[in-house]
Amino acid sequence: MQTTTTIEETRKLVKDWKRQGLTIGLVPTMGYLHEGHASLIARARKENDRVVVSVFVNPTQFGPNEDLEAYPRDFAHDCRLCEEQGADLVFHPEPEEMYQDACTYVNIRTLSDTLCGKSRPVHFSGVCTVVSKLFHIAAPDRAYFGEKDAQQLAIIKKMVKDLDFDLEVVGCPIIREADGLAKSSRNTYLNAQERQAALCLSRALQKGKALAKPGLDTKTLKNVIREEIEKEPLARIDYVETVDALTMQPVEAIDRPVLTAIAVYIGKTRLIDNFSYDPEVQA
């Protein structure tokens, strides 16, 4: 496995592979990798000749009072995990390498007005900008993203369509701890008491999922989820919302494929989780 820090050396490797007719899978990450990332890399390994993992804590997707400085980092551990999963290249640039004096950003409308986009106004512009750059640098045939960040996945799929990127976006299932908590690099912020409290997210979604059926009004669904989370004293709800799975706009009833997504503060840590429901498939 090789590591690069510059765009130029990464491009050179990628161009060599392309010249040989090899396919490339890209797994964009912010590092501090866990089993969720490992599952993306393993899938990319199966479906491509070469696998590139980017490890870059992207400053442009953090708001002014968010956790950019505190975001956990452990590059040696990340490299070990990438190697174990059979990655060929880890691209690990510094912010100056990625942005220099950049003043061009990629913005996506409507899909980013709800859910996390509403609570984190600059977030998806930063995500779309860095992901576009990574697509240009690594020139992947396929790019892999987790379904835990369901709005991010929907936004990247739409961006790829709108901007005619010639690649396939592959969504991969949420990986959970044995007790149900969705794997996240931010779980590391939780102390023992908060770790226990964080189970209210998956528990509430399980309750919601059990209730979901075609035609159900989403107010009922959201109330059940809210009530379950509100039982937990350390939890503070940012949002509980059910949206159209493609447009990310709120819906009043389950009359199409929907995403029910939640963001909840456990102490100071903001966690997200979700489930999808397609009335035609899951009824």
Name the residues annotated as catalytic: 37
3-state secondary structure 76-137: HHHHHHHHHCCCCEEECCCHHHHHCCCCCCCCCCCCCCCHHHHHCCCHHHHHHHHHHHHHHH
- Give the residue, chosen from 115, 130, 212, 221, that forms a contact with ligand PAF under the rule CB under 6 A: 130
- Residue closer to ligand PAF, measured from CB, 156 or 240: 156
Q: Contact region for ligand PAF (CB under 6 A) — 101-109, 125-133, 172-180, 260-268? A: 125-133
Q: Which helix (H) or strand (E) holds 160?
A: helix 150-162
- Give the residue, chosen from 82, 131, 243, 266, that forms a contact with ligand PAF under the rule CB under 6 A: 131
Bridge pairing between strands 269-277 and 142-146: unpaired
Residue 228 within binding range of ligand PAF, rule CB under 6 A: no
Q: Are 248 and 115 in contact (CB under 8 A)?
A: yes
Q: Are 141 and 23 in contact (CB under 8 A)?
A: yes
**C-alpha distances in angstroms, 30 versus 36, 74, 244?**
12, 10, 28
Residues 156-175 that bind ligand PAF (CB under 6 A): none
Q: In angstroms, give the least distance from the CB of 196 to ligand PAF.
A: 25
Residue 39 within binding range of ligand PAF, rule CB under 6 A: no
Q: Contact region for ligand PAF (CB under 6 A) — 25-33, 81-89, 110-118, 205-213? A: 25-33
- Give the residue, chosen from 48, 61, 129, 269, that forms a contact with ligand PAF under the rule CB under 6 A: 61
Residue 129 within binding range of ligand PAF, rule CB under 6 A: no
Q: Contact region for ligand PAF (CB under 6 A) — 127-135, 175-183, 245-253, 274-282? A: 127-135
Task: Find, among 221, 230, 280, the residue nearest to 255 by Cα.
Answer: 280
Q: What is the dihedral of CA 146, 91, 184, 175, to 10 degrees?
A: 40
Residue 112 within binding range of ligand PAF, rule CB under 6 A: no
Residue 127 within binding range of ligand PAF, rule CB under 6 A: yes
